[in-house]
Amino acid sequence: MNRTIATLICLSFAAPAFAEGDAAAGEKEFNKCKSCHYVTADDGTEIVKGGKVGPNLYGVIGRQSASTDFKYSKDAVALGETGFVWTQEDLAVYVADPTGFLREKLGDSKAKSKMAFKLKDGGADVAAYLASVGPQS
């Protein structure tokens, strides 16, 4: 096996480790998020009571950016218009630096997010938690 193939195989095993996160740890970490966000299922079941400053995060993993009934920033809407769909990996990166994430994804150094809070640690865990309380595919 040549070195390039071996490297690609190793990288393919390394990437999912970041994405997985720890849903139990993410549930605790989500306490920092619930001052602005809530998690309510489509049938109205309240999973996490929280603020309404940010959008409902039920089903965010697998959902197109800015596609719910919430007043998102124009740049979050622009991201959604590209067809961007949230993955656990992307959400983990987004919560660490929302504006930086939008700037990178849109290639626009002036893009901004309405989310001012930065979750420096635990983003993968929060993403795993949100995936665990979302609709099951």
**Domain total in the chain:** 1
Average pLDDT, rounded, for the chain: 88
Q: Do residues 61 and 21 lie in contact, with contact meaning Cβ atoms separated by under 8 Å?
A: no
The amino acid occupying position 93 is: V
Pairing of strands 39-40, 46-48: antiparallel
Q: Which domain holds residue 11?
A: 3-133
> Quick one: average pLDDT of 67-88?
97
> Quick one: average pLDDT of 37-57?
96
pLDDT at residue 122 in the model: 87
Residue 27: which residues within 8 A CB-CB, separation 6 or more?
A: 129
DSSP-derived secondary structure for 43-93: TS-EEE---SSS---TT-TTSBTT-SSS---HHHHHHHHTT-B--HHHHHH
pLDDT digits (tens, 9 = 90+) for 10-35: 333 333 334 589 999 999 999 999 99
The pLDDT of residue 136 is above 80: no
CATH number where 78 lies: 1.10.760.10
